[in-house]
Structure 1
Amino acid sequence: MTPAESRLSAPESPPTITPSARPARRWLRVPRALLRVSRPHQWLKNPVVIALPAVTMSRWDPGALLAVLWATALFTLASIAVYTLNDILDRERDRRHPVKRNRPIASGELGVATAWCYLGAVSVLLAAGIVLASPARTWPVLAYLVINLAYSFRLKHVSVVDAFTVAAGFALRALVGYLVLDAAPSPWLLLTVLSACLLLSFGKRRRELSTGSSGHRPALLGYSVQLADYFVIVSAALALACYTLFLLAEPGGGGRSTVLIVVTVAAAVFGLFRYLQILVVGNGGGDPVRTLIGDQTLLVAGLLWAVVFLVS
């Protein structure tokens, strides 16, 4: 056998792997899983809602910005704690869901013990942040945690109550935005946030019902697509009415010119119509955050709304 033939017949040696390559990939697996459990794509809703009072009052001094950023950090940590706890408690149910079974804890990518340790670390950071801030200003964060504990263990299984619990968390975000700015909360803006989030919550449940995933979420047994449609319509009408009353009745809104009020209300109406189109015709709405930030038309409407408030 020639040397060339011996080289061809010899088995190929396995690729050389440096000793540090395999452990490095193994160490990266846990941080990646923790990041997925934290759901960073959901963090955007914290600064958007918390900054609403600052936007409507045109408060952009350094102190106001720092206060809003601090409140945003606290609510982000609180939401991470809630997401982690939910994934720990729901891991068996998530394994029966076609999409949620890929979550790190449900899939086994992240161990339950590691998840509990992560939850403890996040809770310690959150407690330290609340202590460093004024508890009188940040009590909505604690209220959010209490409500979501009740949600995790019971309320998420109760029809209609589940949607109101989620929406209440967003109203608390807007409320903390007022408190950290030492401003009197606007009931009309808080009601606008509450009803708009009810719209998104019922839209999400409508989407889940239309895909036949009612067995995964027990609360869906108390809904139907037609009932969810009614709830969506009522929530949209209430959100628009409260927002219009905010502009007309509140000192921060009543001072705006008629033209600016018409433009911002028109932008809000267009945004509502576009969302309903995505929900009913486009079969979207399963993930409200991805729906809102993933549609260019909605982004343009939101940008127009923000510009009107900033220049008025």
Structure 2
Amino acid sequence: MSPRRLLALCGAVLLAASCRWGGQDDASGEPPGAPTGVTAEAGSATSAHVMWNAVAATGAKVNRYEIYRGTTKVRDVPGSEHMVDITGLRPASTHVFTVRARGTDGRLGPPSRAVRTTTPGAGPADDSPPTPPAAPHGRPAGSRAAQLSWSASADDRDVVSYDIHQGGKKIHSVGGDQTSTVVTGLRPGTRYAFTVRARDAAGNVSPPGATVRLTTAGSASGADGPAATAPTAFRAVSQESGGAHYLALTWTPPRVDGVITEYELRLDGRTATSLVYGGDAPRDRAAYRFYLGREAGITHRVRIRAVLPDGTWGGFSAERTVTTGGRR
């Protein structure tokens, strides 16, 4: 075989191999990961509100989320959303939910951890709705979130949940003992109208409270983000163990429309590490310990921020100064 013909043949083989490899790369990309931060709360005696965090785009782009009760799929939700109401449940029963993400390539990711909620009993016949939530108030929380609050509604029995509506669409629900929330996933520089309704165990829904109108900040709202989405009560203390110095941190997670499962720790103005909770993420008080080194007398500045349920960054906590070998 002549050298010229051999080179042509090799080129054809390499081209075919390249095409095959390109196809394999496209097909071998990872499917979407398992949704994190999944929660389920009873919305009435026959419904539950299921929420989860948006799946990061490390694998295939999410086309939709599939919600399962036990082993049965009960709902499909567009990939742009991360919450849904499941209706038609039995009263006074425990229900188990998982969420899976399906990519645009059709592949289904692994299930989330299972979460449980118990619907209240239906009780005697009840056709009296709660009173409307009073004194609703809202303010923008940066460019992509809004902080809402209201006064508790009254009911002849109990308020089980509050529904938050944006325009005519329900976008969120919180427990009946909660009178504030931070709604995420909004657009910068956009005007919104929110209303809040109370719901009792029988599913009776109150008239809406007064409409809350606000405009989110423009996209250039500052790198530190809004205080409403920042961890609060942030504390940092130097600890010593076996001749090594550690940074002991505690904080209260921001109360937003979902569960915070990931944080970024900034040390001396640079990203030091990411903290990701694989199981149950703390909702009331969080703690973490970080290795600093073996030298005493070194001063560090530290602060943290959260990845919000919609996948965007929340605001930074207050900055703390700590010296190794010292208390703060």
Class of the TM-score when normalised by the shorter of the 2 chains:
under 0.3
Structure with more of its chain in strand, by fraction: 2
Structure with more of its chain in helix, by fraction: 1
Q: Name which structure has the greater RCO, CA cutoff 8 Å, separation 6+.
A: 1
